[in-house]
Amino acid sequence: MSIEFRHVRKTYPDGTTAVEDFSVTIPSHSTTVFVGSSGCGKTTLLRMINRMVDPSEGEVLIDGEPVSGIEPVALRRRIGYVMQNSGLLPHRTVLDNVATVPVLTGTPKAKARQEALAQLDRVGLDRSLANRYPGQLSGGQQQRVGVARGLAADPNILLMDEPFGAVDPIVRDELQQELLRLQRELGKTTVFVTHDIDEAFLLGSQVVILQRGGIIAQIGSPAEILAHPASDFVADFVGAKRGKRRLTAEERSAGDDVLLVDAGGYPAGVISAPDGRLILAGAGPKSRSVSNKTDQAGDA
Amino acid sequence: MAWVLDHLDLVWSLTLTHVGLCVPPIVLGFVISVPLGYWASRSSAARSVLLTAGNIAYTIPGIALVVLVPVVLGLPILNPLNVVVALLLYAVAIMVRSAADAFASVAAEVRQSATAQGFAATQLFWRVELPLAGPVLLAGVRVVSVSTISLATVAALVGIPSLGSFFTDGFQRNFAVETLTGLVAVLVVAAVFDLILGGLGRLLMPWNRRRRLSSSAAKALSQPIPTTGRF
């Protein structure tokens, strides 16, 4: 289930251009992240995939088939969608929320609920929450229900619009790890929208950095972007310019660990160095053994 | 008190007549106002036209309307249908605003998310928007119910029996007990209706009990209740 944007453009009736000439191919079974500041058109682009927004020009194709030829309601039912603040139906129980799409597509209610219970297990939610209403759950739990709902009909494509934007950094960390685990298990073609570059680098195998108007500033793997920022804009956006990504080992060591600081002198993480020798992971630039979370996690 | 006990039959039959006058306008007013309110929540032009029309209709004095309706409908002045139509007009006048606010109180993100899950437009209305508008709709119906029950007493002024007959009769005979009996009966009917509506709300919207109202819904609920005395 690959997705292709072909010279897509979106102009609103009032004359504002949200996206001008955007072309990208999203490979199947992996996660592509659209990252950029607000106003860069990332959500607009995401919503073109399930026809919540129709492009003014150009087209979006799923496995070579233009989505413009697919009836929107049918299209949406085969694409999972998770959004910020979960967007759960407040008048339906957790279980019925998860069972939403299967019920819409005609699965008998009892069977859909039975399967929804299994979905709760999959996203790490206790079954005792099944009969609660969304308003009775914490933000993190609601977001898990949102993911379970997005996956309930076993779609090939999963769209996620800043799904973890409104939860606190610790819960967000858990949810991100959970998503990585699910993605390893399920291998959905996932398109993820965020304004948080750390989140983009953590989750994306392909990262698309967007500028205002849906202009692609750079596209590539996190390692490629970090090692070779295509422009000052990208360098600035990923924090390279401010020295956030340029880490140096501090002399002062803590046991077998050596403290790493960024160019501004702020502690950024630790790296293990028994007897003062750095261990190279061998995985090259893909290594994630260095924790270099910046303060952006607290921006939401 | 002795008078009341002697006339319990009359109190009961006039109460039933009164309820018979009130139920159709309350139910029909709801049924008519929901689509109008939905329309008003969707189009600002429709909203301003409908709400203005509602406000104007509500300012027509009750007695004038009860006299006017038979002329317009061509019915005999003593036909109770005149009163029902007049009450229906007031009910819609109040309820359209509540219904418009009710649909406006449905969070845009919930509507968007439901659309993204694949609810078709009609499913979105029946399964998402209407139930979520429920708490504010219910608040509106409760106001309409009290207002209608109070207004229906006007019928007595044109000779159509209702609990208002106790007012006209008691006034003519200068007999306060009778007037007071009518007043208490009206209050009891209004209280019973309100209890029934509240119960229906808890039954149909179990999710609403355990959840704080969204701020927009709370705002819509805290609107001043229109005055209902119309003599």
Mean pLDDT by 10 residues, chain B (231 residues): 85 93 96 95 91 89 86 87 92 94 93 94 95 95 95 88 90 90 94 95 84 48 48 42
CATH of the domain at B19: 1.10.3720.10
**pLDDT tops 80 at residue A295:** no
Helices B80-104 and B44-59 pack at an angle, to 10 degrees, of 140
Rounded to whole angstroms, how far apart are CA atoms B200 and A179? Answer: 42
Nearest CA distance, B121 vs chain A (angstrom): 9
Q: Which positions in chain A touch B119 (Cβ < 8 Å)?
A: 73, 104
Residue B180: partners with Cβ closer than 8 Å, 6 or more residues away: B170
- B20, part of any domain: yes
Domain boundaries, chain A: 3-238, 248-298
Confirm or reject contact between B209 and chain A (CB < 8 A): no
What was the pLDDT predicted at A5? 95
A87 closest CB neighbour out of B112, B120, B211: B112
A88/B117 Cβ within 8 A? no
pLDDT in tens, A142-199: 999 999 999 999 999 999 999 998 888 899 999 999 999 999 999 999 999 999 999 9
A133 closest CB neighbour out of B120, B123, B211: B211
B113 closest CB neighbour out of A87, A104, A105: A87
Confirm or reject contact between B128 and chain A (CB < 8 A): yes
Chain pair A-B, CB pairs under 8 angstroms: 67
In the structure, what pLDDT confidence band is assigned to residue A252 with cuts at 50, 70 and 90?
low
**pLDDT tops 70 at residue A253:** no
In the structure, what pLDDT confidence band is assigned to residue A285 with cuts at 50, 70 and 90?
very low
First to last CA, chain A: 31
CA-based nearest residue in chain B for residue A79? B117
* Coil, helix or strand at residue A250: strand
- B231, part of any domain: no
Location of structure tokens 């849906």: A214
In the structure, what pLDDT confidence band is assigned to residue A282 with cuts at 50, 70 and 90?
low
What was the pLDDT predicted at B70? 87
Rounded to whole angstroms, how far apart are CA atoms A120 and A107? Answer: 18
Confirm or reject contact between B43 and chain A (CB < 8 A): no
Residue A61's beta-bridge partner residues?
Answer: A4, A66
Is the model more confident about A261 or about A161? A161
First to last CA, chain B: 26
Rounded to whole angstroms, how far apart are CA atoms B73 and B178? Answer: 33
In the structure, what pLDDT confidence band is assigned to residue A254 with cuts at 50, 70 and 90?
low
Residue B203: partners with Cβ closer than 8 Å, 6 or more residues away: none
Residue B36 structural domain: 2-221
**What value does the mean pLDDT of chain A take?**
87
Helices B62-73 and B80-104 pack at an angle, to 10 degrees, of 110
pLDDT in tens, A67-124: 999 999 999 999 999 998 878 999 999 999 999 999 999 999 999 999 999 999 989 8
Per-residue DSSP letter, A23:
E
- B228, part of any domain: no
Confirm or reject contact between B211 and chain A (CB < 8 A): yes
What was the pLDDT predicted at A271? 81
Query: Residue A206: which of A55, A30, A67 has the closest Cα?
Result: A30
- B194, part of any domain: yes
**pLDDT tops 90 at residue A25:** yes
CB atoms under 10 Å from CB of B131, counted, come to: 20
- The total number of structural domains that make up chain B: 1
Query: Residue A197: which of A291, A52, A91, A299 has the closest Cα?
Result: A299
**pLDDT tops 90 at residue A277:** no
ipTM at complex level: 0.80
B205/A90 Cβ within 8 A? no
- B226, part of any domain: no
> A3-238, what's its fold?
Rossmann fold (3.40.50)
What is the 3-class SS of A127-190, one letter each residue? Answer: HHHCCCCHHHCCHHHHHHHHHHHHHCCCCCEEEEECCCCCCCHHHHHHHHHHHHHHHHHHCCEE
